[in-house]
Structure 1
Amino acid sequence: MAWEFVLRDNVSFHDGTPLDATAVVDALTRAWTQPGVLKKAPITDISEQDDKIIFTLEKPFTALPAFLAHATTIIPAPSALDVEGNPAHLIGTGPFQVTEFVPPQSISMTRFDGYWGKKPILEAATYLAAGRAETRALLAESGDANIVFTLDPSGFSHLQRVDSITTQSVPIPRVVALKVNAGHPFFDDARARQALSLAVPRAGIAQAITRFPEAAAEQLFPPALNKWHSQDLAPLETDLDKANALLAELGWTKGEDGILVRDGERFSILLRTFPDRPELPLIATALQDTWRDIGIELEVSVASYSEIPKGHQDGSLHVALYARNYGLTPDPVGSVLQDFGTGGGDWGAMGWDNPEAADAIEVIASTADQDVRAANITKVAGILHQELPVIPVVWYQHTVSIDKKLGGVVVDPLQRSYGLSEMYWTE
């Protein structure tokens, strides 16, 4: 089996060298041999022939074009790499070229006049990373930033009253979720994970913390993923009595201090999260309060997001709270295969394998038959809904503020493009 791709003519990298088949094959081979979505594709070889890029596969894989749109498959110029083949510069083929990069805080770029497509109207742009939501809101209000993404509820509410700004809230395929170590003795029975889910106050979190009541996650895949979101699944609910009953079935009894005990061991666990998304620590605190009501002692650690994949890899993770984007590839099967295929993933299942789900995901990624695909998507969604290796909390709303003097702004619900090429100043 093979896929063949024909390169567009007359495309140049920002350093003036041509985009040719050799550069593409070298870049994609490097991506294939490193961690990323291509590692999950059944590729046996990437080669070139007559200016075509040829992927040789072990078996049919219709998801390949979607995988090639992932961030890890970007094709840089050969000069972007050092002598050892490691990334050293940002040199691509897009409508803007990088002029300055100060990781992890900022990147500046100017219009690339040699771009093959429609030329941008804007001459330059700068991206600035600001970790604190309060800082982002202040940058918007002061006019020091023309577009600001990911505002906290209070900042978003305040900016709606600022005359020079328009705001948008766009449903996106990102979910605030709990990753549970299903290999831990506390969580290796699905009933334990179901009990945790029953003790998640989704409606309260959506109302009081994210302030989008309609975003309480009734299932893992949000409505923005219409082919994966199921109308047939019973909505996840909050019911502490049911949670207590499930834990009692598993042999847990409350001690004198109200914390559950089984075989002399307290139900005491650590939840890891990070502050980059301002709602996460607040949600963690809400969970800490509610889970104590069912006898679970929850310690919260707010640190770097890297602590979550680290805990996955070394086996120390109990529970993690994070936001997962299922739109990182145009077809969500890319993220689903990484998260819930055999072996799980850093941002998906841990200590949980379901051969039926894994087989169904493989079918979804390989078939062109839309009816077969839909049936297997339904199967996967149902298994995840019942087994809960990842527990959904709230669906995400992408909050954005935009300077009214800036036109042509379209907020991408998949968060794949800022749309700089279409923007322009109105005055």
Structure 2
Amino acid sequence: MSWRRMKVVGASLATVLMMAGCAGQGAPSSPTPEHPVKVVGPFELHSLDPSTAGGFFTRLQVAETLVDADTQGNLQPGLSTRWDASADGLSWRFTLRPDALFHDGTAVTADAVASALQAARAKGGTPLSTAPVTTITADGGTVRVDLAKKFAPLAAVLAHTGTQILAPSSYGPGNAVTKVVGSGPYRIERLEQPANIELTAFEEWQGRKPAISKVQYQAAGRAESRTLMAESGQADVTFGIDPTSLQRLERASNVTIEDVTLPRTILLKINSGHEILGDVRVRRALSMALDRESMATAVLRDPEMAATQLFPPSLPAWHQHSVTPLTHDPSGARGLLAQAGWHPGDDGTLERNGKKFAVSLRTFPDRPELPILATAIQAKLKGLGIALDVKVGNSSEIPAGHQDGSLELGLYARNYALVPDPLVTLADDFGADGADYGAMGWNNAILTSTLNTMASGSDPGGQPDGRRKVTEILQSELPVIPVAWYRQSAVVSKRVEGLSLDPLERSWRLTDLTWAK
């Protein structure tokens, strides 16, 4: 689950300024291990349920999943030390880490894990709810998952944050999550929704103990507030700083900047069933109209984030160096539009058979760069004679427009590593029926067959060829048009050492932090 279900919390800039005035009082120059590391981010927490809270509690290392993943998306042990599939691929067993405990002191048993997964499976819209699972049961010290058909990415699905394993005491009537009792290195000491969480190290944690035993998370909705808190020493680690402020903070003497390219791409979703946009020549012309490098430079302050294909370099198994990159080619775009029958009218707007080339684009301000990019796209298309009406509304309007067929173009960001194996997200986005944040009015039988073959695991040696074929088809047909990739940054106080960012955004790796000597 991504962060899109979390809404930004408002913060009073005057309050932050007042706090900054006494920053030195709360930020000792030589903190002790018991002094809390202060983490500030832009998102508030409205739900405790892993299916709607996104990766909040895995990022804070409170809860674990059965399966983990490294920075390259390779699966690693989590609560499960190993997993095995039967010869026919229809039954999987996950062996649990021995003697693991929940934060309430109860044992992490196969029964508890199976119950948590059954609760997760019942929540719609998660990868586990759509996987071909028939039953999840406890079998001694293992958890058994039975399938209706072979599904090779099952272990990756069980690394999705929606499958966090919580203690039985976390659930109330109807399996509603009433509190978060996990098994990770930190436990919740105090939680005040929506903006404040205090953590302390879990003494019974079996792994390496955190060097800093306490964590405070605070949500601050205003970008300028977060910048001021990072600059003044009110925060030790700050996420969600806008590119302009980052440039200023790079010159500050008391902080450093850490960054990493994410497996997230800003996309232009196309209604390929539309009378105008259904023509692949038109979709290619729209792509050629985009000056991605200039937009990435002006808006993201990072020309390297110009998306030349769907998958960024942070997904090395899927990023294809052999594919022909998407480029800015206004002349080529005009030629394709002319081939499709579009020619300038008296006012310069393209026309065909008396109908003007006029379409609308929906986007939303949750990610502040999206409306700015939408305006840049509008200007580029106007230069070709295309009238683009930009509508900035709620993020829910894009899936709603997909469902009722009214969407023409949509601009949003898509994370392809919500499940560590992007295959799961791709199979949903580009399946026969499309998806809210995937294809609309478009299907390619070869691509669908390729994704299904890869998901079945029937030809493990053919996975690289399958990934290349998928990329080539999407690059040619453009049911979605890549615009920009993403780089996540964190501003880190020089009081703190050891922060490294996870490109999959599964964890903030707070257990690696130490106070500077």
TM alignment of 1:157-196, pairs within 5 A? 157-196=247-286
1:124 is displaced (CA, Å) by 2.0
| Aligned position for 2:105 | 16
Over 3 Å counting, the alpha-carbon distance change for 1:360 and 1:106 in structure 2 is: farther
Separation (CA, whole Å) in 2 of partners of 1:232 and 1:213: 21
Give 3-state SS (helix, strand or coil) of 2:504's partner. Answer: coil
1:147 is displaced (CA, Å) by 1.2
Task: Tell me if structure 2 keeps the 8 A contact 1:176–1:393.
Answer: yes
Over 3 Å counting, the alpha-carbon distance change for 1:98 and 1:260 in structure 2 is: farther
| Aligned position for 2:144 | 54
Give 3-state SS (helix, strand or coil) of 1:136's partner. Answer: helix
Report the more deviating stretch, 24-33 or 391-400. Answer: 24-33
Report the more deviating stretch, 116-125 or 194-203. Answer: 116-125
Separation (CA, whole Å) in 1 of partners of 2:214 and 2:395: 31
Pairing 1:285–2:345 present: no
Over 3 Å counting, the alpha-carbon distance change for 1:115 and 1:202 in structure 2 is: same
Which of these residues, 146, 155, 166, is aligned with residue 65 of structure 1? 155
Over 3 Å counting, the alpha-carbon distance change for 1:27 and 1:194 in structure 2 is: same
Deviations 1:274-296 (A, max 9, x none): 22323222211110111111122
TM alignment of 1:45-194, pairs within 5 A? 45-194=135-284
Separation (CA, whole Å) in 1 of partners of 2:400 and 2:112: 33
Over 3 Å counting, the alpha-carbon distance change for 1:267 and 1:106 in structure 2 is: farther
| Aligned position for 2:95 | 6
Which of these residues, 354, 362, 371, is aligned with residue 272 of structure 1? 362
Which of these residues, 309, 315, 324, is aligned with residue 219 of structure 1? 309
Which of these residues, 482, 488, 503, is aligned with residue 392 of structure 1? 482
Separation (CA, whole Å) in 1 of partners of 2:343 and 2:179: 58
Question: Which residue identity does 1:299 align to in structure 2?
Answer: D
| Aligned position for 1:31 | 120
Separation (CA, whole Å) in 2 of partners of 1:105 and 1:123: 21
Pairing 1:208–2:322 present: no
1:151 is displaced (CA, Å) by 2.4
Deviations 1:13-62 (A, max 9, x none): 22222222222112212322322112342222222212311111233322
Identity of aligned residues (%): 44
Deviations 1:246-295 (A, max 9, x none): 22333333333322334544333222222232322221111011111112
Pairing 1:371–2:458 present: no
TM alignment of 1:274-313, pairs within 5 A? 274-313=364-403
Separation (CA, whole Å) in 2 of partners of 1:130 and 1:244: 45
Separation (CA, whole Å) in 2 of partners of 1:86 and 1:74: 14
| Aligned position for 2:38 | none
| Aligned position for 1:350 | 440
Question: Which residue identity does 1:363 align to in structure 2?
Answer: T
1:212 is displaced (CA, Å) by 1.7
Unaligned runs of 5+ in 1: none
Separation (CA, whole Å) in 2 of partners of 1:48 and 1:351: 42
Give 3-state SS (helix, strand or coil) of 1:218's partner. Answer: coil
Give 3-state SS (helix, strand or coil) of 1:207's partner. Answer: helix
| Aligned position for 2:473 | 383
Over 3 Å counting, the alpha-carbon distance change for 1:16 and 1:304 in structure 2 is: farther
* TM-score normalized by the length of structure 2: 0.78
Question: Which residue identity does 2:305 align to in structure 1?
Answer: A
Report the more deviating stretch, 80-89 or 260-269. Answer: 260-269
Task: Tell me if structure 2 keeps the 8 A contact 1:40–1:338.
Answer: no
Over 3 Å counting, the alpha-carbon distance change for 1:119 and 1:299 in structure 2 is: same
Separation (CA, whole Å) in 1 of partners of 2:239 and 2:391: 25
Task: Tell me if structure 2 keeps the 8 A contact 1:326–1:332.
Answer: yes
Separation (CA, whole Å) in 2 of partners of 1:99 and 1:258: 63
Over 3 Å counting, the alpha-carbon distance change for 1:259 and 1:100 in structure 2 is: farther
Pairing 1:326–2:413 present: no
Task: Tell me if structure 1 keeps the 8 A contact 2:453–2:459.
Answer: no
Question: Which residue identity does 1:426 align to in structure 2?
Answer: A
Give 3-state SS (helix, strand or coil) of 1:323's partner. Answer: strand
Separation (CA, whole Å) in 2 of partners of 1:72 and 1:346: 19
Give 3-state SS (helix, strand or coil) of 2:235's partner. Answer: coil
Question: Which residue identity does 2:313 align to in structure 1?
Answer: P
Which of these residues, 261, 280, 288, is aligned with residue 198 of structure 1? 288
Separation (CA, whole Å) in 2 of partners of 1:147 and 1:274: 27
Separation (CA, whole Å) in 1 of partners of 2:343 and 2:299: 32
Give 3-state SS (helix, strand or coil) of 1:386's partner. Answer: helix
Query: Aligned-residue CA RMSD in angstroms?
Result: 2.0
* TM-score normalized by the length of structure 1: 0.94
Count of aligned pairs between the two proteins = 427
